């Protein structure tokens, strides 16, 4: 999620999203970074106040905005390690930290690739998933590509060799989905910022995992569910609001939230 600044971000939009997420009651909520605008402590405290209202378990990674002004230290103080792993009866999820202090660009790093392989190798009967802030592949409707992770090729090779089923990313504020072999890459928009690209509604993603089947949908905050196949197949052109019953342009939001039910 992204709280643009504690004075100006749309709190009502975020409260609506939190209410919807709690009603959905997912098994897990994954937040893929940009909780803050500048990594300031008051921004972090405001973000934590809202995140604490989500009743489901949460896994959170920092974004590039969160590591400004030594914000990475505050992240660890309030949320713990930026690298984490969880496993339940159906899902094994590795959360990587691609953010670096005072850098917009991301890096996965060899150490995290080794940790990823250690956690996801030789797993059977589980959906293998990776979450990170930065994206390993370009996304349409986001302008010049300057912010994929610097070691994207190596990361994609590791993901392919480990037969990872699902990758969750944020950063570009553009909901999208790619398929790379047997891997589904799902990119989030944002829950509560006006800084949107290509899809101009605040949103979060809902991912349903049943056995080996992965179904991803986008939830417009205060609006309808949208199948990602509809987003990918439609051009990003201006449109009317949802109340007209017509297509709404895919929305990019900087609050990057996934809800997973496994």
The confidence score (pLDDT) of residue 144 equals 73
What pLDDT score does 198 carry? 64
* Distance in angstroms (rounded) separating the CA atoms of residues 189 and 149: 18
Report the CATH number of the 11-261 domain: 3.60.21.10
How far is Cα 25 from Cα 13, in angstroms, rounded to an integer? 19
Return the minimum-mean-pLDDT range out of 16-30, 167-181, 194-208, 233-247: 233-247
Please state, in angstroms and rounded to a whole number, the distance separating the CA atoms of residues 197 and 216.
20
| Residue among 14, 57, 12 at smallest CA distance from 35 | 14
pLDDT at 243: 35
Report the pLDDT averaged over residues 26-54.
Answer: 92
pTM, full prediction: 0.84
**Does the pLDDT of residue 8 top 90, yes or no?**
no
Pairwise pLDDT comparison (139 vs 22), residue with the higher score: 22
pLDDT per position as a tens digit, 197-207: 767 788 889 99
Please, which pLDDT band fits residue 250 given cuts at 50, 70 and 90? Answer: very low
Higher-confidence residue: 175 or 172?
175
């Amino acid at each position: 999620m992204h709280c643009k600044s504690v004075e100006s971000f749309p709190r009502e939009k975020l409260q609506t999203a939190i209410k919807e997420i709690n009603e959905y009651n997912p098994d897990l909520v994954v937040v893929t970074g940009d909780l803050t605008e500048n990594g300031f402590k008051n921004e972090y405290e405001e973000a934590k106040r809202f995140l604490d209202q989500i009743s489901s378990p949460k896994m959170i990674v920092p974004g590039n905005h969160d590591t400004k002004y030594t914000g990475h230290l505050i992240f660890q103080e309030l949320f713990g390690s930026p690298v984490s792993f969880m496993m339940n009866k159906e899902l094994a999820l590795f959360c990587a930290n691609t953010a670096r202090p005072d850098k917009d660009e991301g890096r996965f790093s060899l150490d995290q690739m080794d940790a990823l392989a250690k956690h996801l190798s030789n797993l059977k009967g589980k959906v293998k998933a990776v979450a990170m802030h930065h994206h390993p592949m370009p996304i349409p409707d986001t302008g010049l590509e300057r912010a994929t992770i610097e070691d994207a090729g190596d990361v994609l090779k590791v993901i392919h060799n480990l037969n990872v089923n699902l990758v969750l990313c944020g950063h570009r504020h553009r909901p999208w989905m790619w398929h790379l072999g047997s891997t589904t890459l799902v990119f989030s928009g944002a829950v509560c910022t006006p800084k949107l690209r290509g899809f101009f509604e605040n949103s979060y993603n809902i991912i349903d995992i049943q056995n080996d089947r992965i179904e991803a949908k986008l939830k417009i905050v205060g609006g309808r569910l949208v199948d990602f196949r509809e987003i990918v197949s439609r051009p990003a052109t201006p449109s009317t609001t949802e109340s007209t019953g017509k297509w709404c342009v895919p929305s990019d939001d900087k609050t990057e939230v996934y809800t997973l039910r496994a």
